[in-house]
Amino acid sequence: MGYDISDYMDIDGRYGSLIDVDELIAQLKKRDMKLMMDLVVNHTSDQRGWYFWKKGKIDTDGKRLPPNNWCRILDTTKSAWQWDEETQEYYLSLFSPEQPDLNWDNPNVRAAVHDILRFWLNRGVCGFRMDVIDHISKVQSFPDADRTIPGQYCQPGNAYYANGPRLHEFLHEMKAVLDEYDTITVGEMPFVNDEDEIIRTVGMQGSLNMIFLFKILNMDNEPGQSKWSYHEWDATDMKRIHDQTQRLMIERGGWNAIFTENHDGPRSISRFADDSDQWRDFAAKMLCTKSITLGGTEYIYQGQELGMRNIPSDWSIDEYKDVESQSYWRATPMQWSAAPNAGFSKSHVKPWMRVNDDYPNVNVVRQLADPDSVLSYWKRCLKFRREHKEVFIYGGFEILDPEDKDVVAFRRFSEHESFVTVTNFTGKHLKWSGLGEIKIKEWVIGNYELESHNESPGKIVKLRPWEGIIGRS
């Protein structure tokens, strides 16, 4: 799926060429836009060197065993070590056998990564999303992991391969290169949870501008289990996470990356709300209402702005093409239009993945022409966010009614303005009384009409199913 890179200074011919990248950057610049690239340097294609090689162990029966019991990240039943007949050694490959992990303790590896950074920055790229960047430093003794999955030899070893002893040294070396340019960086760091470690990474002395924290995306996972396990949740869980992450960055000088979808998880409307035909648009707009009023930098995953939902459960697993999807479900190609294959490719070319069957109704072209569409609502809300950036991007944060299990509400405020966001995470009509002493001057944005709210403002807010509203206070 493109994460086993063999040449970091070229483009796979199936996607175009370096000339196409230059044209893309030039056209983006004309539109006052910039291009961030995905930097995948924890692992490379198996066509390169500079990896972790170990002889392995022999058990009491004389059977050959991997160097330790770490399992793969994408398949916990298999060892993270791959046997190589030619060298008669194992190499570490946390994700798949075709993606061996680079040994960042080798200075030649780090020098090569720095060359990659300069190559793309010199072409006009503005920065990087750094793939699993918290994995680049491993504990060099490679100890066995604790047994947390019963009944099998292989175990998650993230305590030893994530947030390792030299991580910040390596990140600061990269930052020294990046500081030669005007750049932006966001790190994918799925195993960073400690507040001190977060601020060490994205605080005033940190090496990255922001990181993707997976607290919301892990909210409905069974504690201690994989992301495919399910744990019941309610609005109190979401509020607790927002309260922690928002206040952490405000109080300690860090910065948030705001996101509710990515390529590794379900669609947010299917996961956190209601993707039925009856409530789909309302639920998608409600999620947008909450997202655009959180502090930090907003990230929107392709199709989220359309209200794209999970694909039907009756599809065969054969429709899923990437490594992880052979065991679990994932997302679909972008639905651009009602043309064959949703405009993702020409009609005579089969897309790499099947397009969701709802694409004739849910696509960019149709929603651009509809002022009431999810896409139009996202555009309106993002414009409102920019107009009041001192509040929504940089302002203070206060959770309202933290014990309510159905409503996620909070106040955002600056020296000159104050707004309240109220979102109903149920399909029920509710009467919410969590404003306390706050008085709403006017409800200004919502995914339903606002007349009924503004005609009789008061301490009781009547919320319709999956409603999201923003009020000036």
To the query of whether residue 442 is one of the catalytic residues in this protein, the response is: no
Lookup: tokens for 374 = 């999810």
Exposure string over 146-160, b if 16+ CB within 10 A, otherwise e: eeebeeeebbbbbeb
> Tokens 């910065």 — which residue?
255
The number of helix segments (H) and strand segments (E) in the chain equals 12, 18
Helix, strand, coil percentages, rounded to 5, for the chain: 30, 15, 55
Cα 411–412–416 angle (5° rounding)? 120
How would DSSP label each residue in 398-463?
EEESTT-SSEEEEEEE-SS-EEEEEEE-SSS-EEE---TT---SEEEEESS-SHHHHHS-SS-EEE
* Cα dihedral 303, 306, 310, 314 sign: negative
Nearest residue to 287 (alpha-carbon basis) of 310, 306, 264: 306
Q: What is the CA radius of gyration of the chain?
A: 24
To the query of whether residue 251 is one of the catalytic residues in this protein, the response is: no
For residue 37, which phi and psi values (nearest 5 degrees)? -110, 155
DSSP character for 313?
Answer: T
CA distance 96 to 4: 9
CA distance 294 to 412: 8
Exposure string over 42-72, b if 16+ CB within 10 A, otherwise e: bbbebebeebbeeeeeeeeeeeeebbbbbbb
Catalytic residue among 46, 101, 134, 188: 188
DSSP character for 322?
Answer: S
Cα 241–443–274 angle (5° rounding)? 50
CA distance 252 to 126: 26
CA distance 92 to 8: 21
Catalytic residue among 84, 105, 131, 264: 131
Cα 431 off chain centre by: 33
Nearest residue to 356 (alpha-carbon basis) of 301, 315, 318: 315
List, by residue number, the catalytic residues.
131, 188
